[in-house]
Amino acid sequence: MVKEEKLKKVEELKKMIEEFPVIGIADLYKFPSRELQKIRKVVRDGGLIKASKKSTIIFALKEAKKEGIQELEKIIPNQPAIIFMKENAFKSYLKLVSMKFETYAKEFDIAPNDIVVPAG
């Protein structure tokens, strides 16, 4: 038996998917909450960020009546968030890219680039 809360969450996401013209998927794995709050402040005027379970997002994408939206199922990460924007996709992208930040490596992190230590 499916809980009503889950059904409400799927219905809410489905409605947002159909309402907003620009939709993006973000991976929140090891994403600092302070940075997420900064991004939410920037996005707030023309959009919305919703974090949810992967299965909930997949159900919402399957139920949505938007053309080509099911293609997003293939790229959903393990800890996803959906970014909904009302403005132009390129402006939204520039807004989010300008918020990039650098963090220090922590224990057990996997380096995105090879680390070379010269001799001497």
- The structure tokens listed for 20 are 């907003």
Amino acid 96: pLDDT? 84
Report the side by side order of strands in the sheet with 47-51. 22-27, 80-85, 47-51
Res 1 pLDDT > 70: no
Domains and CATH numbers, the chain: 4-97 (3.30.70.1730)
Strands (E), 1-90: 22-27, 47-51, 80-85
Q: How far apart are CA 44 and CA 51, in angstroms?
A: 15
**pTM for the structure as a whole:** 0.80
Model pLDDT for residues 5-61, shown as the tens digit of each residue = 999 999 999 999 999 999 999 999 888 888 899 889 988 888 899 999 999 999 999
Among 113, 105, 96, smallest CA distance to 27 is for 96
Sequence letter at residue 24? G
